[in-house]
C-alpha cells in the first residue's frame, strides 16, 4: 500500500506545493529527514523491542501512521497557483510539460535503479557480516548506522555540490562511485565495510537526491504521481530478478561476487540512462526553445556551462 499509493501520491503532493526554484533544497531536506528517521527508528526500535517486546512497539508504530495521516490532512487544500520565477538550473527542458510517464523512462530508469541497489545491498550486508565474517548483530548494526550517517552527510553535501554541477552529472558520477565502493568494500573484511559502507552511502545519497529532483522537475503535476509509481513498480520488479541472480551467485561462491554482480548491473543501468540523457544535437538558430549557436560554438558552450540542467545548454546572450 505504501509503495503503490503513498509514495506516488506524496511525490505528486511535493510537486504540487513546492515551487520549481526550491525543489533541489526541498529534496535534500526531505532525504535528510527520511534518513534521520530511519536511523533513529532502527536504534530506538531495537531498544524498545528488548525492553517492552514487539507488540507494544507495533502498536506505537501504527500510531505513527495515524499521526502521519493527520499531518498530511493538515496540509490543506491546494493553494492558488502563484507565478514564481524559475532559476535557470531548475528549468526543465521545453518539452517536459508534454511528457507522459512512459516518455520519461530515462529519468525513471536512473531513479529506479537506486531502489534495486539499496534492497539487494541490504540483503547482502547481513549475509557478509554475520554469515561469513561470523560477527555479531551489534557489529552489523554499527555498520548499518554508519551507512545511515553517510547518507545524512550526502544530503548536506548535495546542497553544496548542486550549486556547481548539474543534477545529471551528480547522479551519474555518484552512482558510479557507489559501484566502485560496492566492489572494494568486500575485499578487506570488516574494515572494508566500516569504511566502504558510509562512503558508498555518501555517494549514493547525492545521486539519489539528484535523480529524484530530475524526475520530479521533468514531469508536470498531472503525471508526476504516475511517473514515481512506475519508478517504484519497476524498481520492485527489477529487484526480484536481480535478487535472484545475486542470491544464486552468492550461494555458490562468496558475497564479494554478489556485490560485484550488483555493481556490474548497476553500472550498466547508470551508463545506459546517462547516455540516453545526453544533450541533443544543437538545433537551428531559429528554434525558439533553444536558440543554439553553430555546432562548434555550442560545443565550447557545453564545456563552459557545466551547471546547465540535464546537459541542455541554452544561450543566455541576447540575440
| pLDDT tens track for 86-115 | 444 444 443 444 455 555 788 888 899 988
- What pLDDT score was predicted for residue 240? 93
Query: By C-alpha distance, which of 205, 214, 157, 213 is closest to 177?
Result: 205
Query: What is the b/e burial string over 83-121, where b = at least 16 CB atoms within 10 angstroms of the residue's CB?
Result: eeeeeebbbbbeebeebebebbbbbbbbbbbbbbbbbbb
Q: How many residues does the chain have?
A: 319
- Let me know: does 203 contact 114? Beta carbons within 8 Å: no
Which residues, at least 6 apart from 239, have a Cβ–Cβ distance to it below 8 Å? 115, 116, 119, 120
Q: Which helix (H) or strand (E) holds 252?
A: helix 224-252
Supply φ then ψ for residue 188, to 5 degrees: -130, 25
CA dihedral 68, 7, 244, 247 (to 10 degrees): -40
- What pLDDT score was predicted for residue 276? 65
Geometric angle at alpha carbon 147, from 217 and 213, rounded to 5°: 0
The whole-angstrom separation of Cα 293 and Cα 53 is 68
- What pLDDT score was predicted for residue 307? 42
**Which three cell numbers mark 314?**
541554452
- What pLDDT score was predicted for residue 315? 42
- What pLDDT score was predicted for residue 311? 42
- What pLDDT score was predicted for residue 291? 35
pLDDT < 50: residue spans in the chain: 84-98, 283-304, 306-319
Amino acid at each position: 500500500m505504501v509503495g503503490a499509493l503513498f509514495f506516488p501520491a506524496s511525490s505528486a503532493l511535493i510537486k504540487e506545493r513546492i515551487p520549481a526554484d526550491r525543489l533541489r533544497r526541498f529534496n535534500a531536506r526531505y532525504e535528510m529527514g527520511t534518513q534521520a528517521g530511519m536511523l533513529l527508528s532502527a536504534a530506538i526500535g531495537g531498544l524498545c523491542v528488548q525492553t517492552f517486546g514487539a507488540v507494544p512497539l507495533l502498536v506505537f508504530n501504527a500510531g505513527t501512521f495515524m499521526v502521519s495521516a493527520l499531518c498530511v490532512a493538515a496540509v490543506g487544500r491546494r493553494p492558488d497557483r502563484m507565478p514564481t520565477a524559475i532559476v535557470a538550473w531548475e528549468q526543465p527542458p521545453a518539452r517536459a510539460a508534454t511528457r507522459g510517464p512512459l516518455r520519461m523512462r530515462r529519468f525513471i530508469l536512473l531513479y529506479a535503479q537506486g531502489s534495486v541497489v539499496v534492497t539487494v545491498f541490504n540483503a547482502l550486508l547481513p549475509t557478509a557480516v554475520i554469515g561469513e565474517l561470523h560477527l555479531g548483530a551489534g557489529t552489523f548494526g554499527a555498520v548499518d548506522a554508519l551507512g545511515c550517517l553517510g547518507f545524512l552527510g550526502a544530503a548536506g553535501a548535495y546542497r553544496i555540490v548542486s550549486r556547481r554541477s548539474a543534477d545529471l552529472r551528480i547522479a551519474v558520477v555518484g552512482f558510479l562511485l557507489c559501484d566502485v565502493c560496492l566492489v572494494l568494500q568486500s575485499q578487506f573484511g570488516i574494515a572494508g565495510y566500516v569504511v566502504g559502507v558510509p562512503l558508498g552511502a555518501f555517494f549514493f545519497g547525492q545521486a539519489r537526491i539528484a535523480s529524484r529532483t530530475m524526475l520530479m522537475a521533468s514531469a508536470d503535476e498531472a503525471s508526476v504521481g504516475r511517473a514515481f509509481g512506475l519508478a517504484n513498480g519497476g524498481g520492485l520488479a527489477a529487484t526480484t530478478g536481480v535478487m535472484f541472480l545475486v542470491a544464486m551467485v552468492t550461494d555458490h561462491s562468496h558475497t564479494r561476487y554478489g556485490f560485484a554482480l550488483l555493481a556490474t548491473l548497476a553500472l550498466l543501468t547508470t551508463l545506459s540512462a546517462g547516455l540516453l540523457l545526453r544533450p541533443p544535437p544543437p538545433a537551428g538558430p531559429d528554434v525558439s526553445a533553444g536558440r543554439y549557436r553553430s555546432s562548434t560554438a555550442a560545443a565550447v558552450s557545453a564545456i563552459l556551462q557545466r551547471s546547465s540542467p540535464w546537459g541542455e545548454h541554452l544561450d543566455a546572450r541576447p540575440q
